[in-house]
Amino acid sequence: MRRAPEVLLPSLLLGLALLQAGCQSDLRPWVPPEDHKAKIISEAMFVRTGRGDYVDGYLAEYGAEAPKRRMFMVLEIPRYLRGERLIVTGRFTGDSVRMSFGDQDQETVPVFELERGAPDVPAAPDVPALK
């Protein structure tokens, strides 16, 4: 009976520590990466996000329907050029960047963290050979 507090107290403290860590954690549930066809519509930029991170990247538009949606594509080696079309794989981080377009008010653009970007080269049309 006298040993009960000795055993229970560390367990209780460990439980409380884990609970606190869980509550304060910024960890988000794992989500699978998404593929999009995107077009780069800006030069490389270095911006501050809503969460206060400083990141390199490009403004890009994606999606099949008009008007196209915009995202800020974050990558660590910005070597692409404005106008390039890419197939991108990555995740939206939940962060955003405030940007203004022309004379419009500022717009909140979601941050997309790029894991893989490859040129979107359209396949050559399948033209039957002349007989």
- Is residue 119 a contact point for other proteins (CB under 8 A)? yes
- Is residue 116 a contact point for other proteins (CB under 8 A)? yes
**From residue 111, how far is each of 39, 47, 57, 76, 107 by CA, in Å?**
15, 11, 9, 14, 13
Number of residues that bind other proteins (CB under 8 A): 12
Residue in the structure block whose two tokens are 């653009």: 109
d(CA 65, CA 75): 25
- For residues 80 and 58, the answer to whether their CB atoms sit within 8 Å is yes
Exactly one of 40, 75, 97, 111 binds other proteins (CB under 8 A); which one? 75
Binding segment for other proteins (CB under 8 A), chosen from 6-14, 15-23, 36-44, 108-116, is: 108-116
Task: Decide whether 75 or 111 has the Cβ nearer to other proteins.
Answer: 75
Burial classification of residue 30, based on how many CB atoms lie within 10 Å of its CB (0-12 exposed, 13-18 middle, 19 or more buried): exposed
- Is residue 98 a contact point for other proteins (CB under 8 A)? no
- Residue (of 82, 90, 80) closest to 119 by Cα position: 80
Task: Decide whether 75 or 97 has the Cβ nearer to other proteins.
Answer: 75
Task: Decide whether 65 or 76 has the Cβ nearer to other proteins.
Answer: 76
Q: CB 129 → other proteins: shortest distance, Å?
A: 29
Q: CB 99 → other proteins: shortest distance, Å?
A: 22
Strand 54-62 vs strand 106-119: parallel, antiparallel, or unpaired?
unpaired
Binding site residues, other proteins, CB under 8 A = 75-77, 79-80, 113-119
